[in-house]
Chain A
């Protein structure tokens, strides 16, 4: 075999978005020699696409906010399927993680008294999102990137903390007892292989959106982390819950799916159908009816007087809004290009729109010739976020079944339950990125230098798998297979699902699996996107199968999983996670696993009436004596 570049590290972080960088900072500060593996250039991760803000109950705008309110909102948003411990840690620690960013140099928008400003968002009871205009994700990634640089300056080089840019990991390595021993990958630039020997690996690879045709996600989102974890023997859960963001661009076709921030609605934007009607008032579900306005007047008063009015229904959690938009379009009340109308132009003065939503103005002006200060936007649902992911221990982010493996951010599952609230992803990255970095460092320290050995046969097998698409001739075009996969997932495993469609999807995924094994690429190993896609396809297919299998089994509708044949939420199903694993290295197994019961003091934060909407009779706390 050709010579392979080899490195030794204590902790290897795969992924250089918010979660990966925060984990790397924590690991390096805990004294670990740390490597960050980035599929793209450093600072380009998908986190830059986050627009609205970071949810943290600092209470800067409304002093009534605190972690308990944030926790309740998160559980409601996830329809109580969340891992309650993760939701608790997240709500408690996000403020501290945001404040830390200021010590790294972040510059958030300010309140009048000089604190970090906070904005309204769907499902959040109070203004809670720390933000920088509508480019909060860019600020987050740049701040963390610059913190990494500052740590390298302290170290006088990258000996203790190094970024490997444009490098893709294709396989995790384990020793004979199943512990993590390293990772294998290639440099995109020259196609040469690289081996990282490390006892601890943090997965921070983000989501799976590139399996779908209409998506807000970039090319990197190919489910690498979920697939790596599965192949290494770990488990993923909640894969049936895919968030379709209600507002993606719908026209022109080439930009279909690009995100339109929820801040448009948070700042006063409303949804209308082709009749000009604010249709969201017709779609407030029973579980939320108490908290949302019933008339346009009340909804409009809420922006200036939130204490005496209820919130507009445009700010329901994303799953509700996406389904409502879908229903309007299906009922023939859509906009000319198959979406609905998002109107901010008649709601705010032009100067205010430019100030609060500069990048939305820019995006519509330059890509669609639409001036959002004068004209309405056309929007529709777009695949945005994977609620499911690697099954982890809430406190340490340790992945199930594989010692030395950790996961944080979108690639980890549980925190958001069946639906994530806007703004909770950036805080998730920081809270659990930090915890994963510390968890990995603690694990490495316990090993006391006895690092698991890399098995040469695993390295050879990984190299052979990576080279396969280059050695085949006359096979299928990976781009064509990818387009088929995206179309199939969009058509059959999208926003609204049925058993018939899931079965059909699984049948076709089986066929695609065979074809993915036969793709061939032109050219050599030198920066060859066709080859890279061929390798990513394997991961996309595996996670797509997990989504479809879990979606077939869950016979109810909840959050990011809507079954036309089982339209109601069913309390029996709330008690269960669907957990996927790989048997024989290829077949996806799905089993039901009970959710850990919520701690009584957390349960006590909710009214019994509210709990009764989600929980089975047997789970409810004993009724208080009158």
Chain B
């Protein structure tokens, strides 16, 4: 069972570009990425698109489909009516390189700002002991496939490019939470989260959670608990007093 679909795909580069109309065959069970590949093979050999696994595991084929940030490999054509126009555009929060490919350097820069896992002193490889229940919290966040859809959709940077400097975005605030919740990580990361990575900018609209293809509860399980930890630290009078006495701040 196949039919001809109407696609509009953004084509262009950093300087200029426009939506281009295509009529393209669609077969049973296909996803948007299959259709983009068919366009490449038959109508637009130089159409730029990133993809790797085509199974929702690598997070490469992120784009906006009818305005919604999604993985092209996990968006089935059966979710559209046959006479519906499918519009595919590049992620809006990052500079375009060409067609559907954007410059996601921002994310790699932010990744490098977060202090790495600090191994506990005195434990050799093979001596780590952790309970399943304790690793599960961070494990949820490590399901992240770095598709950067949450980074793209978060209004803190989507509508305010100037915030990129001070705000690491949901993916990397979640990384801070992941490390803070790691049972054996030796660093305290609460102040960093607030002061260096811009946790305070997040006003928990949950857009990140909504677009996450891995269904990670970014806001509820990472960002809100992290905000609570920061607040506990900052406003608890006993903690405040303790920090003054021991000069830890």
Contacts and interface: CB of A to CB of B under 8 A. Distances in A.
Contact of B142 (A96, A107, A359): A107
B31 interface: yes
Choose among A40, A102, A527, A529 the residue with the greatest number of B CB atoms under 10 Å from its CB.
Answer: A529
Nearest to B52: A218
Interface stretch (B55-63, B151-159, B202-210, B218-226): B55-63
A109 B132 contact: yes
Interface stretch (A248-256, A263-271, A342-350, A458-466): A248-256
A44 B52 contact: yes
A152 B188 CA distance: 21
Contacts of B99: 527
Interface in A99-117: 99-100, 102-105, 107-110, 113-115, 117
Contacts of B119: 103, 105
Contacts of B104: 41
A483 B126 CA distance: 47
Contacts of A529: 40, 45-49
B116 interface: yes
Given A107-B135, A146-B116, A218-B52, A44 B97 contact: no
B138 A107 contact: yes
A48 B116 contact: no
B126 A49 contact: no
A43 B111 CA distance: 12
Nearest to A97: B125
Interface in A472-489: 477-480, 483
A41 B129 contact: no
Interface string A104-141: 11011110011101000000000000001101001100
Choose among A96, A366, A477 the residue with the greatest number of B CB atoms under 10 Å from its CB.
Answer: A366
B51 interface: yes
Contact of B31 (A115, A367, A483, A522): A367
A138 B130 contact: no
A254 B48 contact: no
A590 interface: no
Interface of A: 40-46, 48-49, 58, 95-96, 99-100, 102-105, 107-110, 113-115, 117, 132-133, 135, 138-139, 142, 146-147, 149-150, 152-153, 165, 189, 218-220, 251-255, 258-259, 359, 362-363, 366-368, 477-480, 483, 521-524, 526-531
A528 B48 contact: yes
B234 interface: no
Contact of A368 (B29, B117, B128): B29
B200 interface: no
A220 B52 contact: yes
Interface string B65-98: 0000000001010000000000000000000011
Choose among A109, A138, A259, A526 the residue with the greatest number of B CB atoms under 10 Å from its CB.
Answer: A138
B29 A251 contact: yes
Nearest to B141: A107
Nearest to B126: A99
B53 interface: yes
A522 B48 CA distance: 12
A553 to B, nearest CB: 34
Interface residues of B, number: 60
B129 A113 contact: yes
Nearest to B115: A153
B41 A480 contact: yes
Nearest to B147: A44
Closest 9 CB pairs of A and B: A252-B29, A523-B46, A105-B117, A150-B116, A530-B45, A114-B129, A99-B125, A479-B41, A527-B48
A521 B46 contact: yes
Contacts of B58: 40, 44, 48-49, 218
A133 to B, nearest CB: 8
Contact of A483 (B41, B56, B115, B144): B41
Contacts of A479: 40-42, 45
Nearest to B112: A149
B97 A102 contact: no
A132 B112 CA distance: 24
B45 A149 contact: no
Given A99-B126, A110-B131, A521-B46, A218 B54 contact: yes
A218 B132 CA distance: 32
Contacts of B101: 189, 527
B126 A258 contact: no
Contacts of B128: 99, 102-103
B23 interface: no
B129 A115 contact: yes
B116 A253 contact: no
Nearest to A112: B132
10 contacts: A40-B50, A44-B52, A46-B53, A48-B57, A114-B130, A362-B56, A366-B74, A479-B41, A528-B48, A530-B46
B182 A107 contact: yes
Contacts of B130: 107, 110, 114
